Structure 1
């Protein structure tokens, strides 16, 4: 792809909140890339942006769309409820889009956006940042191919407590569902158990819940347990996989892994490459995608649909757990 702006690829960013501001900094730091317009309903002075970037902010959505037409790609980091409408508007103007997770509120909307992007000849991807975690990239091959007997993934993020009105599943657990589905390549034969700390209050499934544990039976023959929480004191993002031959622990938070196998001929795990943070890797992948039309490891709309469908199933079980909090929900 040749941009209309010579050597510089221009990016429009919708949303300058906590994640949107990080996207602005990551893209604008890349060589040959410039964030040209930002939409944020709040005054620019309230955004965590440089003075130069604040001057590129507009509170007017119509002005943003008008200026975005002169960009080469867009990032959608506005509130989740607006993802579908904003992405639809930008794709309709021919812009390839990177949409923060979850791509949409409802799984079917991912496919609607995918059809529109195909009609427009635009790229459409979901920002699943863990895919670009250096420790996960180093261990992805082993996680996918080794005959494990059990895998446990733990994710605790106290900082997410500010989003307690949003579903814990689509806010945090969605990262790990993407890992097991699309990095490890697993599908699931059964949703065995769902447990939460729901107190029976009348709220959307997964909202107001501070801890959820899910156990799934994979098509590879072993169970996968996901434990996600908002309230523990310390942040944690760990993958622990074990088999009769040994074990693997991946520390996603600190970019480290530790493999311990009994067989000396076992393929060594590649070293972690710490040269770039995950957000920069993701931004670079999106730029490369705009230039050559390939995905470069980014999550597609169809993959987002698959992950959101599983989120929806878990949330349905959470709703049952809220009605009957004294016992976990089980079943295929």
Structure 2
């Protein structure tokens, strides 16, 4: 399992493009994709956006118009086939990822694919095999927490053995709100997937079983969504990881993780931003409104590391196997949810590792 490389230097806003820059197509320019376009245009060294594509043409044209030298492709496959594209960022809905990543592999293009790699394990496994057939590592999966300074520090603490053997992780993952179409299974597939990968990254072992339960739901939870959700992950080394997922708190975006080890504990996710005291007598830190603000540094580092590797024709981050393993755990989590909270073992094709 890969660990997070050190942060690379980023370019100041307005940096002129260089002749040797990696020319990037960004597919899907909603909230996440548009943020990546801005990042590539203003902060990443040695790469720049040249093409965008989106199912909503007006959105694509609006994003392209905000950055010099960016044009709109007719559709994502046309962007991938564009001879002036050297690498691709896939930020479209998860159901489209298999087709688009396969097209990138056929052209031999390095690709940063936002999570999930695909929405179910069989298609993710097909991408593992398809990438292997190219003889190169070309796909990096967008598990950005691996590049967050706090997660990287916690991983180093585990790897260094300062606190002794890890025993448990306690995790919380809270959103202020989610789109109207978000349902209970999407909590597992779109939210819990981050804790699944973080568990594998921090502990260095696979998740072997999962139980997903629903406690009493908050009264104002959106229709069709039971909120919060509780998940219990079991790992190959006998560690336990509990996760509270709340996606409609109305407060902000909160993510924290506590490690319990033989020789002590360590917690991340509490102290972001300045401690402010007000005239009302309250003291506290601001809660970021969304994941974009909370993990801004992680995204910057992630894309810079990807761009540096892509210029060399490879990738240096979470792999197709990491994407497949996370998809397998989440599929088992959905099965647990549908079964009323039964424990479900995770099935992995170890021969494909």
Label 1:122 to 1:136 Cα distance change in 2 as closer, same or farther (>3 A): closer
- Extract unaligned runs of 5+ from structure 1: 200-206, 257-273, 322-327
Alignment RMSD (CA, Å): 2.9
Over 6 Å off, 4+ runs: none
Which residue in 2 is equivalent to 1:123? 138
Instruction: Give the drift of 1:28.
Output: 2.2
Indicate if the aligned counterparts of 2:169 and 2:242 stay in contact, CA closer than 8 A: yes
Which residue is equivalent to 1:306? 325
2:250 pairs with 1:233: yes
* Structure 2 residue aligned with 1:140: 155
The CA distance in 2 between the partners of 1:89 and 1:222, in whole Å, is 39
Distance in 1 between the 2:256 and 2:77 partners?
A: 43
Q: Does 1:287 align with 2:307?
A: yes
Question: Counterparts of 1:1-332 in structure 2 under 5 Å?
Answer: 6-29=19-42, 30-44=44-58, 49=63, 51-53=65-67, 56-61=71-76, 63-67=78-82, 69-120=83-134, 121=136, 123-144=138-159, 145=161, 146-162=164-180, 164-165=182-183, 167-191=186-210, 193-196=211-214, 208-234=225-251, 235-243=253-261, 245-251=263-269, 254=272, 277-292=297-312, 295-296=315-316, 298-321=317-340, 328-330=341-343
Check whether the contact 1:178–1:307 (CA below 8 A) recurs between aligned residues: yes
What secondary structure, in the 3-state scheme, does the structure 2 residue paired with 1:220 have? Answer: coil
Instruction: Give per-residue Cα distances to partners, 1:152-197, cap 9 Å, x unaligned.
Output: 1110112434551461112111111001113321334543x42126
**Deviation, structure 1 residue 116:** 2.6
> Structure 1 residues 46, 89: CA separation in 2 closer, same or farther (over 3 Å shift)?
closer
Identify which range, 156-165 or 305-314, moves more after superposition.
156-165
In structure 2, distance between residues paired with 1:194 and 1:122: 34
Q: Distance in 1 between matches of 2:126 and 2:271?
A: 34
Instruction: Please give the secondary structure, in 1, of the residue aligned with 2:259.
Output: strand
Query: What TM-score do you get using the length of structure 1 for normalisation?
Result: 0.78
Q: Per-residue deviation at 1:112?
A: 1.9
Q: Deviations over 1:70-102 (max 9, x none)?
A: 211101101111111111122212211111100
Q: What TM-score results when the alignment is normalised by the length of structure 2?
A: 0.74
CA contact (8 A) 2:46 2:308 kept: no
